[in-house]
Amino acid sequence: MIYDVKLHPKVQDFLDKLDKHISERIKNRLLLLKCENLFHYLEHYEGENCYKFRIGDYRALVDIDISRKIIFIRVLDLRGRIYSFRQVFEHKFLEYMPSKEMFLTVEEKQLLEESYKNEKDGKILSSKDLKKQLEI
């Protein structure tokens, strides 16, 4: 039950711009989230529907897809910037965050779209049946 950690491209760019030793320290700390008891390391981000992860002076805002065992690192920045950015936009911070859908593969997007169509039509298919139907 190990989780997969996916970084938003802007998070990866941010890490690439940091000093190598700081970047490596952050990446090593992010590996802690791959464990089964990941909520031991996460705190609910007050007033929003995501979690924060402490990494020294840095904070990562993350979403979790429990069914697919994926952790989405959506924002990473210095602690002060994360909290001041939130205040500037009057608690609408997550509206400026990228959606989870940008982390999906092409096949996952097809499955999601097809499951929405089937749901509207009142059909309930398992993911295996959907994959067979779409020949994925």
pLDDT at 96 (0 to 100): 47
Distances in whole angstroms, Cα of residue 44 to Cα of each of 11, 21, 56, 62: 20, 28, 17, 10
pLDDT, block means (10 residues), the chain with 136 residues? 85 93 93 82 79 91 85 88 59 49 67 70 68 67
Which alpha helices (H) appear in 1-136, and where do they start and end?
Answer: 9-17, 20-30, 79-88, 106-120, 127-134
Q: What is the pTM of this model?
A: 0.63
**Helix, strand, coil percent values for the chain (each to nearest 5):** 50, 20, 30
pLDDT at 99 (0 to 100): 57
